[in-house]
Amino acid sequence: MESRNFLRFLAISLSVSLVLFFTWVHLPYAPQPNTTTDLLYCSTNSPWCTSKNRFQSINKPSTADNILEKPPNPKHHKVHNHESDTPHHPLDPLTISEINRVRTILKSHALFRSSSPFAFHSVVLEEPDKTLVLQWKKGDSLLPRKAAVVARVAGKSHVLTVDITTGEVAVQETGSRSGYPTMTIEDMTSSTWAPLSNADFNRTIIQRGVDLQDLACLPISLGWFGESEENRRLIKVQCYSMEGTANFYMRPIEGLTVLLDMDSKEVVEISDKGRDIPIPKAANTDYRYSAQKINPEMMFVNPISIEQPKGPSFTVEDEHLVKWANWEFHLKPDPRAGVIVSRAKVRDPDSGEMRDVMYKGFTSELFVPYMDPTDAWYFQDVYGCG
């Protein structure tokens, strides 16, 4: 009897071992970071990611919510080397080598050789004339490549055109026209902290019942806010409470807006007209999975998998020409306009010919203004044309 029980126990043990071995062999493989250097802090990876970390100094990750993995191991995923990109179409954006060429040209220009501080706010392709682009066909020589540059030197804005081939630089006089360059990342960062150097601002925050350690301020909209503010680079800054949640957007300090001079970092005006509006509570606002209190018995939905067994329905040629169904269009990013769709065409189902539909369209044209006339909202909109 004892020998029979031993054989039964041995058979069960071997069966369990085989099952565990088979399961281990067939587990899906995912490359894991080898060292802490394979991890990126949220704040260093993107200064605008929605996390409390971007407002605080971090020496090491505290939880898995505060770190992002690097892109997958190149051994398992093909990585495109953009340094070798070359333009194939007159509307292709500037390549890395072209941008480096523009930088080299401008470094020797008299405007930037002085000791005055300067910053390049925009370096993009200066698109050729529309007529020339429409006449161009694949296989033709590329039209002359030029860069449009917006720079600030010694507190003044300059618009320049750089011929990438010849090295010639044309400086356009901006004169007294209204308008200001887009923000740089330095502008954004300084606008986040600048209000804290103003005693009246700090006093206002404390009176609102918010600890300065829990304060998050963001530059919302760069613009022109009245004739009395002409010739100043001004921005609206709004603030939130981070106490008790990583989702500080859910805890706005309503009615409080700071008008800030980005050049001098001076607080021009503090509009505080929402003292009677309470700050929303932090309870149940944290969007992170680790913060969710999920009852396993309430998990009714099974996992979903969206697949394309034959691959995507679109193709990309020469990096920027997209073909999908009976459509084709040129696609490129732009720091001001967002995504630009150019030369959109559709194949006529009757004639089979490609018909022009749109020469150029900006995703930034798709915006929704809040249409609230109050100080804290009149300048805001979704999808950013404010």
Name the more confident of 69 and 127. 127
Q: Let me know if residue 337 belongs to a domain.
A: yes
For 196-262, the three-class secondary structure string (H helix, E strand, C coil) is HHCHHHHHHHHHCCCCHHHEEEEEEEEECCCHHHCCCCEEEEEEEECCCCCCHHHCEEEEEEEEEEC
pTM of the model: 0.68
Question: Residue 235 above 80 pLDDT?
Answer: yes
CATH number of the domain where residue 164 is located: 3.10.450.40
The answer to whether position 349 is within a domain reads yes
Q: Are residues 134 and 213 in the same domain?
A: no
Q: What is the pLDDT of residue 57?
A: 38
Q: What pLDDT shows up at residue 10?
A: 43
Task: For residue 297, tell me if it sits in a domain.
Answer: no
Same domain, residue pair 93 and 55: no
Domain-located, residue 123: yes
Same domain membership, residue 201 and residue 166:
no
pLDDT per residue as tens digits for the range 114-157: 888 899 999 999 999 999 999 999 999 999 999 999 998 888 88
378 part of a folded domain: no
- The model's pLDDT over 269-310, given as tens digits with 9 standing for 90+, comes to 999 988 889 999 999 888 887 787 777 776 666 778 888 898
Torsion sign (Cα): 345, 346, 347, 351: negative
Confidence of residue 77 (pLDDT cuts 50, 70, 90): low
Domain termination site, one of 144, 172, 200: 172
Residue 313 DSSP one-character state? S
228 shares its domain with 249 = yes
| Boundary-marking domain end, from 279, 302, 324 | 279
- Higher pLDDT, residue 39 or 350: 350
Q: What's the pLDDT at 131?
A: 96
User: Among 181, 161, 158, which Cα is nearest to 170's?
Assistant: 161
Q: Which domain holds residue 123?
A: 82-172
**2 occurs within a structural domain:** no
Stretch 329-339: mean pLDDT: 90
Residue 267 domain-assigned?
yes
Q: How many domains does the chain divide into?
A: 4
